[in-house]
Amino acid sequence: MTSAAHERELGGALLRSVSRSFYLSLRFLPRRMRGAASLGYLLARATDTVADTEAVPAGERLAVLAAMGRAVEGGGPAPELDDYRGAAKPGEVALLGRFGDCLAWLGGLPAGQRDPVRRVLGQIVKGQSDDLRRFGAGRGTGAVSTLASDAELEEYAFDVAGCVGVFWTELGFEAFGSGFAKLPPGEMERLGADYGKGLQLLNILRDLPEDLAAGRCYLPGGGGAGGAELWEGEAVRWRRRCGELLGAGREYLAALRGSRRLRFATALPVLIGERTLARLEASSWEALRAGVKVPRSEVKRLMVKAAWGALW
């Protein structure tokens, strides 16, 4: 099967079934970037599903993640994933069953796209594995484990999301050359990494109540504080840091030379992220526990705003 056929078969309904807001960006990407970006997302979602399957001991999940990483690198076969499909959501079950097909799609990509996919997956698997080593045994003990330093949080945010900004940039310059951006590749990669880190930090802040209940805290030194105390204390400076990192997304967007579709796909996560952060800033601990998200109606308005901005 050709790469184009794999993209048609795997990059449509299957991708939509396992992605949320990011699918909105992927579907509007220019074709020259869309296939590799979609495949990278599918592979990362497959490894994330394994990492999150708490019914399987952490040590076993680490071994399977390593095997998946080797398979992506071309150094081994796809591992058996049946143990993870029973606890997965329907879309994730289908994805795990097609992991071998995703690898075949990867093998058919040109080197300029295949190598960035392999690099970003290697970084993501590292971050997922580090996360399992830190927190894999914590659930159900009653204790809360926490990251030890700001540097650990920054590293984790880069490993699981900041590297995606670098990946996006590599694909863009491979597809468009100097027509991708006004800034040089190194500067765009730096901005892209910060943009991705900001989106991950946003998820960490939004999911703080759920993470604390599971015995983990990504905010350094926050394990001994109560939820409300943590939200009104340590979390304040990380909300500020999140805003700084999302600001890099604005700079990234302003530097793009590419098509309207590229600018739209890049702008949408910035707009949704900024709106989500504003809602978090206005939320009490109790409101955060109840769940904070941008309503669908507002997402639609932001899509219109992103599309209008892409014209200029």
| pLDDT tens per residue, range 257-297 | 978 889 988 988 999 999 999 999 999 999 999 999 888 88
Report pTM: 0.92
Determine the pLDDT at residue 303.
Answer: 79
Poorest-confidence range of 130-134, 264-268, 308-312?
Answer: 308-312
Query: In this model, does residue 310 exceed pLDDT 60?
Result: no
Delimit the CATH 1.10.600.10 region(s) of the chain: 141-312
Given this model, what pLDDT does residue 34 score? Answer: 94
In CATH, the architecture of 141-312 is Orthogonal Bundle (1.10)
| pLDDT at position 312 | 41
Does the pLDDT at position 236 exceed 50?
yes
User: C-alpha 125: how far from its chain's center?
Assistant: 12
CA separation for the pair 118, 218 (Å, rounded):
27
Rounded CA separation 27/11 (Å): 9
Question: Which is more confident, 286 or 88?
Answer: 286
Task: Express as a percent the part of the chain with pLDDT over 90.
Answer: 70
**In a 10 Å sphere around its CB, with 0-12 CB exposed, 13-18 middle and 19+ buried, how is residue 134 labelled?**
middle
pLDDT of 246 > 60? The answer is yes
Structure tokens at 247: 């600001």
